Amino acid sequence: MSTQPILSARGLTKRYGRVTALDNCDFDLYPGEIQAVIGDNGAGKSTMIKALSGAIQPDEGEIRLDGQPVTFGSPIEARETGIETVYQTLAMSPALSIADNMFMGREIRKSGPMGRWLRQLDKAEMRRIAREKLSELGLMTIQNIDQTVETLSGGQRQGVAVARAAAFGSKVVILDEPTAALGVKESRKVLELIGRVRDRGVPIILISHNMPHVFEVADRIHVHRLGRRLCVLRPGEVTMSDAVALMTGAKTPDSLTPAA
Amino acid sequence: MQDATPDSDGSGSETVAAFAGPQGLRAKLAGILYASPAIVPLIVLIVAVAIFGLLLGDRFFTPFALTLILQQVAIIGIVASAQSLVILTAGIDLSVGAIMILSSVIMGKFTFDLGLPPALGVLCGLLCGLICGSISGYLVAYWKLPPFIVTLGMWQIVLAANFLYSGSEVIRSQDIAEQAPLLQFFGRTIEVGGAVFTYGVILLLVLVAVLTYVLSQTAWGRHVYAVGDDPGAAELSGVNVRGTLISVYALAGLICAFAGWALIGRIGSVSPQAGQLANIESITAVVIGGISLFGGRGSVAGTLFGALIVGVFTLGLRLLGADVQWTYLLIGVLIIAAVTVDQRIRRASL
């Protein structure tokens, strides 16, 4: 394990009125790992992820990226520092093409007068890069990069969304329930894809409710409970039922250690 | 570019994105319609021209008659282009006609009553359109008010302002021709053979060409579609949704002001009573032109075809001596047919 986490949080707290969604929460993501985040509904894991991806601003606490303190006013600011998030909704425009979607909000303009004065987009270049990024991740056999996203299956859409994040997420990729809406076969493909993104050196935060998926791909598992990190597990050292027991409070990390 | 090469990592053809093309002639046809929805109104336009040509022969198939249609749809076509932009963002602008009229009245009154140079009067009119549109855009983007309500209110406000300011007075055509011919600029004509093109028609064609370029070739254009498609997704993708919306309504207002200028050229005078139906007629052209009222789909070229279809029916039926109500009846049928086609195309795609 590397000494310095690429992304870390200390003492994150977020209150909504009288409800404390995040209570002095810590988080550490190390280079090259897939870290799963599990937790019961309402445990505050999505609040934590939103804080890390810039969607909300914590009331207290500090986030560090590469050791440097950072604050994100919006997901766009987080994205500019190299943290890409794939939302459960995927955030894609269904009527636009794969290439359009991959470059939405960061289009490439043509060089020369057409680009400078007439602001013409370099569509050929964007198609080329989109195609390259998809094939790097084994998402090839695309006949038509101009196909609209709504003509793709759920798994294909997820694939394009992950490829978009991986293409631009230089530091961290956050995946929110990437397999929740998918069938068995498509889930398998997406899990393989997540592994390939990690192999390319981009660490991943994976939020999932699916224990078999988590235990299959994660290097470490962050267990979230009552608004904070309860413990961090290694998939090889605990069983799935232990993880669920920790998540729900049926067991505590201390009671687990001797058995493991 | 090698499109269909199998991937190299050995996991076979069943990777996540095994994109398969549609099969069969029917599916292919559906695919073409889906990719370019402007084809449907274009086909309807060609068929309508052919039918009226057969029925009317030389009276219809002359350069003069065909360019007359263009002249008659120029104003509505320009307004409908503005309407297209707004509808592409899943909005609607009911105030387009009112903005057009107020702008033209300001151009006339500022020149004649305030004694401004005509060029400055025109500039003030254009500015008026821009400001009216910007206000609507601000209310839609920042206050999240429904576009229908905002522009319904704006329609009443602008129209009332128009009557209050103008006192319902008309500035006569010969006065304008004598003292401020610039106001009638878009009424000037170019003749090629028997074909007569007004500058207003040329403005329409240039406008459609420019908007087509901007919508398909610039980032702003892509953002307009993305905002209309799914504003939440656009926001998360890094699109400035508010800025895009405001710029769309502001640009639509400016285009309506240009329509107001062209309107002076068309009717010769400055009349506060003119163009009362422009908002409904512009929406008609947009819908027949295959732009989805749900936003994010369609093209300005389609809107041009939609406006031309209305023009062809209007002139063709008049030359046939039919009651004008037949025109309205047929256009009503076309509107419903166009929306049906839009729904079918979108369902076929899913």
What domains can be seen in chain A, in order of their start residue?
A: 7-92+170-256 (3.40.50.300)
Q: How far apart are the first and last CA of chain B?
A: 28
What is the DSSP code (8-state) at residue B170? P
Residue A181 tokens, joined: 């809406």
3-state secondary structure of A38: strand
- 3-state SS, A57-116, equals CCCEEEEEECCEEECCCCHHHHHHCCEEEECCCCCCCCCCEHHHHHCCCCCCECCCHHHH
By Cβ distance, the residue of A91, A119, A150 closest to B237 is A91
Residue B15 has pLDDT above 50, yes or no: no
Token readout for A50 is 């939103």
Residue at token pair 């129209």: B159
Max Cα separation, chain A? 70
Residue of A95, A147, A189 with shortest CB distance to B15: A189
- CATH code: domain B38-349 is 1.10.3470
The pTM of the full predicted model, rounded to 2 decimals, is 0.89
Which residue on chain A is closest to B4 by alpha carbon?
A141
Contact B59, B319 (CB under 8 A): yes
Q: Check whether A143 has a pLDDT greater than 80.
A: no
Q: What is the percent of chain B where pLDDT is above 90? A: 79
Write the CB contacts of B46 (distance below 8 Å, at least 6 apart in sequence): none
What's the token pair of residue B93? Answer: 């602008």
Per-residue pLDDT of B32-51, as tens digits, reads: 777 777 888 999 999 999 99
In this prediction, residues A110-131 reach a mean pLDDT of 91
3-state secondary structure B62-123: CHHHHHHHHHHHHHHHHHHHHHHHHHHCCCCCCCHHHHHHHHHHHHHHHHHCCCCCHHHHHH
- Residue A42 pLDDT grade (very low, low, confident, very high; cuts 50, 70, 90): confident
Distance (Å, whole) CA B261 – CA B124? 11
Give the span between the Cα atoms of B256 and B129, in whole angstroms.
Answer: 6
pLDDT more than 70, % of chain B: 92
Nearest to A104 among B1, B8, B237 (CB): B237
A75–chain B Cβ distance below 8 A for any pair: yes
Of A95, A101, A134, the CB nearest to B17: A134
pLDDT (mean) for B165-180: 94
Instruction: Give the count of beta carbons closer than 10 Å to the beta carbon of residue A75.
Output: 22
Rg of chain B taking only CA atoms, in angstroms: 22
Q: Do B19 and A142 touch (CB under 8 A)?
A: yes
Q: Is A125 left (phi over 0), alpha (psi -120 to 50) or beta?
A: alpha
The mean pLDDT of chain B is 90
Among all residues of chain B, which has the CA nearest to that of A184?
B16
Chain B, 44-73: which have a CB under 8 Å from a chain A CB? none
- Return d(Cα A210, Cα A251) in angstroms, integer: 19
Å between B220 CA and nearest CA of chain A? 9
Task: Supply B47's token pair.
Answer: 């068929």
- Kindly report the nearest CA distance between residue A117 and chain B, in angstroms: 11
The one-character DSSP state at B147 is H
**Subunit contact A141:B9, Cβ cutoff 8 A:** no
- The residue extents of the domains of chain B are 38-349
Q: How far apart are CA A97 and CA B192, in angstroms?
A: 42
Three-state DSSP class for residue A230: strand
**Quick one: CA dihedral B329, B331, B336, B337, positive or negative?**
positive
Report residue B314's pLDDT band, with 50, 70 and 90 as the boundaries. Answer: very high
What pLDDT, on the 0 to 100 scale, is given for residue A184?
87
Range with the poorest average pLDDT among A110-119, B135-144, B169-178: A110-119
Give the Cβ contact number of residue B23 at 10 Å.
8
Q: Residue A96 CA to chain centroid, in angstroms?
A: 23
> What distance in Å separates the CA atoms of residue B135 and residue B310, rounded to the nearest whole number?
31
Q: What number of other Cβ atoms are within 10 A of residue B330's Cβ?
A: 18
Strands (E), chain B: 189-192, 195-198
In tens, the pLDDT along B297-309 reads: 999 999 999 999 9
Contact B229 A93 (CB under 8 A): yes
Mean pLDDT of B336-341: 89
